[in-house]
Amino acid sequence: MKLVDLDIIVTAPPAPGWGGRYWIFVKVTTDTGITGWGECYASTVGPDAMRAVIEDVFARHMQGENPENIEKMFRRVYSSGFTQRPDLTVMGAFSGLEIACWDILGKDRGRPVWALLGGKMNDRLRAYTYLYPLPHHEHGPFWVSPEMAAESAIDAVNRGYTAVKFDPAGPYTMRGGHMPAMSDITRSVAFCRAIREAVGDRADLLFGTHGQFSTAGAIRLGQALEPYSPLWYEEPIPPDNLLEFQQVAQAVRIPLATGERMTTKAEFATLLRTGGAEILQPALGRAGGIWEMKKVAAMAEAFNVQMAPHLYAGPVEWAANIHLAASIPNLLMIETIETPFHDSLIKGMIRVENGHVIPPETPGLGIEIDEDLARAHPFTGTGLHLQMQEDPCDYQNENHFEGGAPADKQ
């Protein structure tokens, strides 16, 4: 069996667009006629440029290869161009293609992907959700309203979720780590207080940031949140200096979680060696794929660190997360995004049930893609999947942060 053909679909989810401006799906076919699906979570270049990168990685390193040889293909890509170091864009391209290989292998053997990763460790996966506006909420004010966030949290808990994530801490900017505005600290504390009062001990609070703070700023904010006992403090500083996470971890009594913007075991190993994080959050469509993150999970297990696969993308990456999560002993939980569009794209074949996901028993990733639906929503904008703002933190006026909602401007 050999990999012979590649098709790429760039799909734009309809408004409000939870999961980003677009999703990059790859469809890989073998000479035996088996088709596998993957998803590339990479946003450093536009989708047209990313399409060219994916095509190059496939043609140069994977086409004509047996899909079983994932280790060999990974080493080709990781070493390409005399690198042998983490590369977000190239590894993002490979990650989606690698996920497709596992889908192919599972279908070829008539087994779910988790069965090829050591078998099922977890019959039921704890899930968490970001807090999104309810139908009666106005989207703009929602992101800065502790009261609306508390209403959304109650709704999530009533649907069975035992953990909710929110990130009211202000802007994430291209300028790097900054000191939070006092108003942002005040709002963050208000969010934690309102949500904790609303849900009590029925759910864990997951406090998100987007790596926007300096080390000192992260410590200052984190210490202010400690009375509300969040389960994690997500990505409090930029990922460009992994050694600084250790300083935050030593000063803040909230477990640190990070990993969405990291790729390969080389980067995650630094955090594990320094004690900089207690929870790793790889995005499987960027971090190197399922097999590479299976290795990271094993490394993390040796350091008593848990895994919580990240999701701000489409349902194919979610399916990959589910199979990895089913196979590892040190799983904490998985992120989910529930929208009709996510559900329709995979024809409702995997769903959240009472705050948990049941790993599928069907072959491969356990999903069937509605290709017509995916192609019927092409991306026509010019923005990236996610974008950072250029303006610095505003210390005089209130910062307006849109949370998980991409701006209307494309």
Model confidence pLDDT, tens digit, residues 288-334: 999 999 999 999 999 999 999 999 999 999 999 999 999 999 999 99
Whole-angstrom distance, CA of residue 91 vs CA of residue 290: 12
On the question of pLDDT at 35 being above 80, the answer is yes
Least confident of 178-182, 194-198, 405-409: 405-409
On the question of pLDDT at 349 being above 70, the answer is yes
Model confidence pLDDT, tens digit, residues 254-280: 999 999 999 999 999 999 999 999 999
Strand locations in 172-272 (E): 204-208, 232-234, 256-258
Domains of the chain: 116-365 (3.20.20.120)
Q: Is 69 helix (H, G, I), strand (E, B) or coil?
A: coil
Between 398 and 153, residue with greater pLDDT: 153
Average pLDDT over residues 197-222: 97
pLDDT (0 to 100) of residue 370: 98
Average pLDDT over residues 228-238: 97
pLDDT (0 to 100) of residue 258: 98
Strand locations in 64-222 (E): 125-130, 163-166, 204-208
Model confidence pLDDT, tens digit, residues 358-392: 999 999 999 999 999 999 999 999 999 988 888 89
On the question of pLDDT at 404 being above 90, the answer is no
Model confidence pLDDT, tens digit, residues 67-122: 999 999 999 999 999 999 999 999 999 999 999 999 999 999 999 999 999 999 99
Whole-angstrom distance, CA of residue 357 vs CA of residue 284: 17
Average pLDDT over residues 13-42: 95
How much of the chain exceeds pLDDT 90, in percent?
Answer: 91
Average pLDDT over residues 396-402: 81
On the question of pLDDT at 406 being above 60, the answer is no
Q: Residue 224 — very low, low, confident or very high, per pLDDT cuts 50/70/90?
A: very high
Backbone angles phi, psi at 58, to 5 degrees: -65, -50
Least confident of 142-146, 156-160, 161-165, 397-401: 397-401
Whole-angstrom distance, CA of residue 11 vs CA of residue 22: 5
pTM over cut 0.95: yes
Closest by CA position to 385, among listed 5, 44, 26:
44
Q: Residue 409 — very low, low, confident or very high, per pLDDT cuts 50/70/90?
A: very low
Whole-angstrom distance, CA of residue 189 vs CA of residue 381: 36
On the question of pLDDT at 193 being above 90, the answer is yes
Whole-angstrom distance, CA of residue 77 vs CA of residue 84: 9
Q: Residue 402 — very low, low, confident or very high, per pLDDT cuts 50/70/90?
A: low
pLDDT (0 to 100) of residue 263: 97
Residues belonging to the active site: 210, 310
Backbone angles phi, psi at 10, to 5 degrees: -105, 115
Average pLDDT over residues 4-20: 95
Mean per-residue pLDDT of the chain: 95
Q: Residue 410 — very low, low, confident or very high, per pLDDT cuts 50/70/90?
A: very low
